[in-house]
Amino acid sequence: MPNARIEKIHFSPRYFKSFFRLPAPIQKLAIKKDPWFRTNPFDGRLRTHKLKGDLAGTWSYSINREYRVLFRFISDVEVLYYDIGTHEVYR
């Protein structure tokens, strides 16, 4: 499990499509949480956790109680933001 600062984040086209569909307050909150993630992807405030089943290999962190960012570690210091949204992103 990586513990280093995240040096590079790649964004999938799906992530941007989903991001721009979010309500403006959720977009602002996601932008606020991004530096926390970059500094420490396992900051307790993010509730980062590994997913199972069909999403094995994918991780999630919380924007708030309803919204999540789905991502994958490419290396210990590099990730791909795959999607953002409600629990619907798990499907």
Query: Which residues, other chains included, contact 22 with Cβ-Cβ below 8 Å and sequence gap of 6+?
Result: 30, 67, 84, 85
Choose among 15, 47, 49: nearest CA to 33.
Answer: 47
User: What pTM did the predictor assign?
Assistant: 0.90
Distance CA 55, CA 74 (A): 15
User: Would you say the C-alpha torsion 52, 8, 32, 24 has a positive or negative sign?
Assistant: negative
**Structure token pair of residue 58:** 């994918």
Alpha helices (H) along 1-91: 13-19, 24-39
Domain boundaries, the chain: 8-90
Domain 8-90 class in CATH:
alpha beta
Give residue-wise pLDDT tens across range 1-60.
556 799 999 999 999 999 999 999 999 999 999 999 999 999 999 999 999 999 999 999
Give residue-wise pLDDT tens across range 68-85.
999 999 999 999 999 999
